Chain A
Amino acid sequence: MTTPRGRSLTLRDLEVTGEGGRRILYVPRLQIAAGSAVAVRGPSGAGKTTLLYALAGLVSPAAGRILWDDEDIAPLGEPARAAFRRRTVGFVFQEHLLFEELSAPGNAALAALYTAATERAAIRARAAEQLSRLGLDRSAARRSDSYSGGERQRIAVARALAADPDVILADEPTASLDRANADRLADDLVALARHEGRTLITVSHDPAVHARADRVLDIADGRLAADTAQGAPGAAHA
């Protein structure tokens, strides 16, 4: 087990508004330790995904601070937030969202296409490494739409890890999978995050994901309704 390299998260009076200034999410205070695995759950439309998008810098909050370690991403402009996502965040979506025409390594190393030329080789090497860790075919000749649903979501996980992010954010990663594949993905996600001490925040209604987390946050009506620490093995460093 390596020392945590992930970032800690501190939210202060975070407020996200929707159309017409309607408040979608308000979190007065939240602290997540570096390297921990956190699950977020709640009813549909409660604001879970909005929270995730705010943490990734995809949504600009109306007020408050989003501190990843000491870096407040709330006031950043789009180019700086894009750079933050590129450097710091690995994202796994509900659907695998791959470029079907590309191979598994092509999808996993997508970031190599828009990062500096000097980093491309490293990204490709890490993408390949993650694919083999996830037990996937690394053939560059095979289109990614020839893989099964579970395999495709694992390609998406490899993609999230390829740029060596400090933080992994996942939005319902197991929702489109059957039970066996969902369990396997939940295992993989947590194991890979922990392996290098990354901070993992997963929005999910899947109990398999909750069971593997150090901590479960319940969101209801745009507010943090409950915060449950779990004594999962090898958990909380903070």
Chain B
Amino acid sequence: MPDAFLDGWAALPVWLADLLLFLALLAPAFLLGALVLRGFAIGPLLSALLRRQVWVSVVFVALIAISVGLGAGLIAQERGLRQGTAPAADKFELVVAAPGSEITAMLAAVYLQPSDLPLLDGETYDRIASHERVEIVAPLGFGDSWRDAPVVGTTAEFVAYLSEGLAEGRHFAAEYEAVAGARVPLGVGDAFSPAHGIGDAAEHGAHGDLEYEVVGRMPLTGSPWDRALMVPIESVWSVHGLANGHGPGWDGEIGPPFAPAYFPGTPAALVRADSLAANYGLQAEFSTETTMAFFPGTVLARLHALMGDIRQAMSVLAVITQVLVTAGVLAGLMMLTRLLAKRLALLRALGAPRRFIFALTWSFAVTLISTGAALGLLLGVAATRAISSIITARTDVLVSARLAWPELHLVAGFVSLTAVLALLPAFLTMNRPVIRDLRG
């Protein structure tokens, strides 16, 4: 039976399963509502009471909205980060680096975070480059910058692979030509002079009056490479006084093949294998004492899992906050019903059934709860948007925030749970003494 149920559930399209789950989570609140409100037309009185206690209601709604927004925002933010960082790493299937931290190497190679990595030598690079299963391999050269944009030395072939076609211009074909990322404020034909180092430590003028000319621009990739200036690796080596990767008698044509003896080293080799199987093969082959081969996707997935764990812990706190806030609001509501006691007693005296008072108080609570929950969703998404745009501005990883099912499920569950909790103040209010309240 569970098998049949599960398989039937799995046979549904994901969106339908999500929708049904959402409805199932919301169903208790609606069933309860139908049951509690059966036979009554509480609308006018409910809105009268809400208007009577408008400021208290606004405060209660705001409290619920903030706590729900926190919970929803956490989920949306985590997903946004996952969905933003993953595509940025998609093109980097396999990275070979000198042994060390996979995370550091990934942050440097994929997300262009400045770091001090040991180098792979020319022999090793040549072994990778000449491997029959390797389709593309590219060295990376870091260290220079122009304003905030890192200048990254690599090959034209890799830029072509990364960009899947330039937005404008052509690939670099000579040593002092460059391709600009989509967010670099330089157009085709502009020239720039690189500084040694990055950020505040950059030494301007260290490279003399060297200038690169921008000959092409990449389309937006949603990754930190959007802020980078890509130049031929040969020029990066040259300006630092190193060999340029080619032996004597080089004809000046940039790019591979490189001569192992004149290869100054690269912190990482970006590898694309000819098949998925080959990626695993190469990873095994280059996991040696002198080389470290890893899938950035796996490293990132592990970081995602870690982030997911932290987010779940925070979500538990957020849920506790939500429940505490709601309990506070319901307790506040009890006091509020005391302010309304005379009017409620009047209704009883006029012949309204106790259940009507029950329905009225419950609807009051559920109106505050559901309004707060709906606003909380919006608030969560708005906050996530704001945070995401800051992250995007700082890291160039395109992080977006959209409302998705998990938040809706959370909020639906919250509404149903608290709709049940709201039965308690409704029950207590229903049993208040009529005569005393009427005289009071």
Q: Residue B44 at the A interface, CB < 8 A?
A: yes
- Is A186 interfacial (CB-CB < 8 Å)? no
Q: Are B350 and A53 closer than 8 Å at their CB atoms?
A: no
B352 to chain A, nearest CB (A): 4
Of the candidates A58, A84, A87, A100, the one having the most CB atoms from chain B within 10 angstroms of its own CB is A58
> Are B354 and A79 within 8 A (Cβ)?
yes
Given A101-B51, A116-B39, are A106 and B351 neighbors across the interface (CB < 8 Å)? no
Q: In the complex, are the beta carbons of B348 and A101 less than 8 A apart?
A: no
- Given the complex, which residues of A lie within 8 Å of B42, measured CB to CB? 113
| Interface assignment of B435: CB less than 8 Å from any CB of chain A | yes
How far, in whole Å, are A61 and B265 apart by their CA atoms in the complex? 101
Q: How far is the CB of B188 from chain A (nearest CB, A)?
A: 66
* In contact, B45 and A97 (Cβ under 8 angstroms): no
Cβ–Cβ < 8 Å partners of A91 in chain B:
349-350
Shortest B354–chain A CB gap in Å is 7
Is the beta-carbon distance between A53 and B435 smaller than 8 angstroms? Answer: yes
Cβ contacts A to B, 20 pairs, < 8 Å: A58-B435, A79-B353, A86-B350, A91-B350, A93-B349, A99-B48, A99-B343, A100-B52, A101-B51, A102-B45, A106-B44, A110-B45, A111-B351, A113-B44, A113-B45, A114-B40, A114-B347, A116-B39, A117-B39, A159-B350
Collect the chain B residues with CB atoms within 8 Å of residue A142's CB.
none
Which of B45, B52, B342 counts the most A-chain CB atoms under 10 A from its CB? B45
Instruction: Find the residue from A110, A114, A159 having the highest chain B CB count within 10 A.
Output: A114
| A111 neighbours in B (Cβ, 8 Å) | 350-352
Contact A120 B41 (CB under 8 A): yes
Q: Does B237 contact A (CB under 8 A)?
A: no
**A116 neighbours in B (Cβ, 8 Å):** 39
Contact of B349 among A56, A102, A113 (CB under 8 A): A56
Of the residues B39, B49, B351, contact of A86 by C-beta under 8 Å: B351
Least CB separation from B434: chain A residue: A58
In the complex, which residues 44-75 of chain B have their Cβ closer than 8 Å to any Cβ of chain A? Answer: 44-45, 47-49, 51-52
Question: Is A78 a contact partner of B354 (Cβ separation < 8 A)?
Answer: yes
The number of chain A residues touching the other chain, given as a range, is 20 to 34
A residues 92-130 in Cβ contact with B at 8 Å: 93, 97, 99-102, 106, 110-114, 116-117, 120
Interfacial chain B residues near A159, Cβ < 8 Å: 350
Q: Which of B52, B343, B353 has the most CB of A within 10 A?
A: B353
Cα–Cα, bound, A86→B354 (Å): 12
**From A82, A89, A102, residue with most partner B Cβ within 10 Å:** A82
Report Cα–Cα, A101/B50, bound state, in Å: 10
CB distance from A144 to the nearest CB of B (A): 10
Interface residues of A in 45-82 (CB under 8 A from B): 53, 56, 58-59, 78-79, 82
Q: Would A82 and B44 count as touching, CB distance under 8 A?
A: no
Check A85 for interface membership: any CB of B closer than 8 A: yes
Chain A residues whose C-beta falls within 8 Å of the C-beta of B351 in the assembled complex: 82-87, 89, 111, 114, 163
Q: Contact string, B322-355, partner A, CB cutoff 8 A, digits 1/0? A: 0000000000000000000011001111111110
Nearest CB in chain A: distance from B31 CB, A? 20
